[in-house]
Amino acid sequence: MSTIKNLTIDQGTTFTENIRYLDNSKNPISLTGYNVKGQLRKSYYSANATATFTTNITNETTGNITISLGFTTTANIAAGRYVYDVVANTVNNVSVVRIQEGILTVNPGVTK
């Protein structure tokens, strides 16, 4: 089961989030042999992603992942409420797991 975590991004800034893939006992789950990807969308039913996270498995054996969006990307996302998730899949797509999901709020920026 995935972790549910709500996130906030300030429009026009660089966003980075560190994620740990853990089991129910808070032990790390290995991501060896997996790729990770994530997106945000206006709703669960949106046909197209609003943005795609840059993802990086920073430590396969301890399940550490970093997701990020550059300031240019966040500047082009309209302020408001979105949904997101981060999934891992094996290279041959035999197994797919949702690691983290939730509501993502983009706060409007003033300085352009």
Task: Calculate the alpha carbon distances from 37 to 29, 51, 65 in Å.
Answer: 17, 11, 10
Domains and CATH numbers, the chain: 3-107 (2.60.40.10)
Task: Calculate the alpha carbon distances from 4 to 11, 19, 85, 102, 108 in Å.
Answer: 22, 11, 9, 5, 24
Q: What share of the chain is helix, strand, coil (3-state, %, to 5)?
A: 5, 55, 45
Residue 66: half-sphere exposure toward Cβ, Cα within 13 Å: 9
| Both tokens assigned to 87 | 């999934």
pTM above 0.85, yes or no: yes
Residue range 42-88, pLDDT digits in tens: 999 999 999 999 999 999 999 999 999 999 999 999 999 999 999 99
Task: Calculate the alpha carbon distances from 29 to 4, 38, 102, 109 in Å.
Answer: 17, 18, 20, 37
The answer to whether residues 63 and 34 touch, using CB atoms and an 8 Å cutoff, is: no
Residue range 86-98, pLDDT digits in tens: 999 987 777 889 9
